[in-house]
């Protein structure tokens, strides 16, 4: 979560001849406890509605706003016969939408900071940036006395979440190939390079592009998608999306549209000697760690690729694995005309003592035969 705090640049009041007028409203632009806005409120009269705007928030347009926190302070004068003023209603106005919540604690003679949290849904950063205001609407003075109401400041905290993505290529594996310890292989041999894309919070539902930077000296043999197609768009909705891979340009559009994870695995064949690296890039995250490879001439005795050995095999890969498919088709165990039976007691004996007594008295019932399998 991210928080931005702003004071209003413009403060006005809704003119109403039946309500008391505020003086020095510009004083509430900042919290200084010295210069205040004030109004003389008559009995059974309410102050005019305070309107604050132009907070100049600059949050990303597609950010998701979850909370609007309005911090403010008001108090009454300390005369012998003060006014009686209940808490105001705080209204957050976003375009045509209005969200309101009552402040707390009636106006006292002592200043007191107050904070009202308004929870919102389906509000984006662009909504706040385009048209946002906060109104403060006090009720009537229920005292028989006239008196002064002070308002010190008003500021807004916006709580929002920006879109977050994560791309990895197996960096948590202890055998991840580094510059000092690259994968060593010969020309003509193949390696696996995997990219995992994660839409962390599902703030953005837009398709994302991942560019895989494969150096010269490698050719694409095959590619596989990690078989996970359902991605959450919200707590209730899901969308079945397809992964798309441009083989020519090595550009992948992951299937994760909402909160979820997608995977792409490339099978690359080395075609010439050299020392190089592979990585992946997306503009909303950056570049993955370099995946280093050292290619030797044909006939080079390659050491075991421990990174491959310790990486998971995806179900989509097994569809092309001849040994796996053959194993699935072969008969492992064949049975014919198999039966199985065992003895079962006719009564339940709870403990050894009871069993011994029944045995001594020859009261144990003989066991019966139970046939579990019959000519299977």
Give me the mean pLDDT over the 214-233 stretch. 81
Fold of the domain built from segment(s) 2-161: Jelly Rolls (2.60.120)
Which range has the worst mean pLDDT, 18-32, 102-116, 159-173?
102-116
Question: What ranges do the domains of the chain cover?
Answer: 2-161, 165-329, 340-373
- Of the candidates 4, 128, 6, 1, which has an alpha carbon nearest to the alpha carbon of residue 61? 128
C-alpha span between 191 and 183 (Å, rounded): 9
Give me the mean pLDDT over the 88-94 stretch. 95
User: Per-residue pLDDT for 342 more than 90?
Assistant: no
- Of the candidates 112, 106, 113, 127, which has an alpha carbon nearest to the alpha carbon of residue 70? 113
The CATH number of 165-329 is which of 3.40.50.300, 2.20.28.160, 2.40.50.100, 2.60.40.10? 2.60.40.10
pLDDT tens string 224-236: 998 665 555 555 6
| pLDDT band per the 50, 70, 90 thresholds, residue 169 | very high
Q: Percent of the chain having pLDDT more than 70? A: 92
pTM over 0.75: no
Give me the mean pLDDT over the 310-318 stretch. 80
Using only the alpha carbons of the chain, give its radius of gyration: 36
User: Per-residue pLDDT for 321 more than 80?
Assistant: no
pLDDT at 330: 61
Please check whether residue 331 is in contact with residue 366, taking contact to mean a CB–CB distance below 8 angstroms: no
Please check whether residue 138 is in contact with residue 47, taking contact to mean a CB–CB distance below 8 angstroms: yes
Whole-number average pLDDT of the chain: 88
C-alpha span between 264 and 254 (Å, rounded): 8
pLDDT at 229: 52
pLDDT tens string 354-370: 878 878 888 777 778 88
pLDDT at 30: 84
């Amino acid at each position: 979560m991210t928080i931005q705090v702003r004071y209003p640049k413009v403060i006005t009041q809704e003119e109403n001849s039946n309500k008391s007028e505020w003086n020095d409203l510009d004083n509430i632009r900042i919290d200084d406890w010295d210069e205040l806005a004030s109004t003389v409120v008559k009995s059974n009269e309410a102050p005019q509605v305070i309107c604050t705007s132009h907070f100049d928030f600059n949050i990303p347009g597609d950010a998701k706003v979850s909370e609007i926190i309005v911090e403010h302070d008001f108090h009454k004068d300390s005369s012998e016969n003060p006014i009686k003023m209940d808490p105001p209603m705080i209204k957050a106005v976003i375009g045509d939408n209005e969200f309101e919540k009552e402040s707390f604690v009636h106006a006292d003679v002592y200043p007191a900071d107050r904070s009202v949290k308004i929870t919102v849904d389906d509000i984006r950063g662009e909504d706040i940036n385009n048209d946002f205001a906060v109104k403060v609407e006090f009720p009537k003075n229920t005292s028989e006395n006239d008196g002064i109401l002070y308002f010190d400041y008003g500021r807004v905290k916006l709580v929002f979440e920006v879109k977050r993505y994560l791309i990895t290529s197996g960096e948590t594996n202890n055998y991840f190939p580094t510059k000092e310890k690259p994968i060593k292989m010969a020309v003509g041999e193949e390696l696996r390079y995997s990219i995992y894309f994660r839409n962390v919070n599902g703030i953005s539902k837009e398709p994302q592009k991942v560019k895989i930077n494969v150096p010269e000296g490698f050719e694409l043999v095959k590619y596989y998608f990690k078989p996970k197609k359902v991605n959450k768009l919200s707590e209730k909705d899901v969308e079945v999306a397809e992964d798309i891979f441009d083989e020519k340009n090595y550009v992948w559009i992951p299937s994760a549209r909402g909160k979820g994870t997608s995977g792409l695995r490339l099978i690359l064949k080395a075609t010439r000697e050299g020392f190089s690296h592979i990585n992946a890039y997306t503009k909303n995250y950056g570049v993955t760690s370099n995946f280093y490879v050292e290619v030797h001439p044909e006939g080079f005795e390659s050491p075991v690729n421990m990174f491959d050995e310790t990486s998971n095999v995806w179900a989509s890969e097994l569809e092309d694995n001849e040994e796996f498919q053959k194993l699935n088709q072969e008969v492992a165990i064949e049975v014919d005309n198999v039966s199985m039976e065992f003895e079962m007691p006719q009564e339940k004996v709870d403990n050894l003592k009871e069993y011994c007594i029944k045995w001594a008295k020859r009261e144990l019932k003989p066991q019966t035969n139970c046939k579990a399998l019959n000519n299977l």
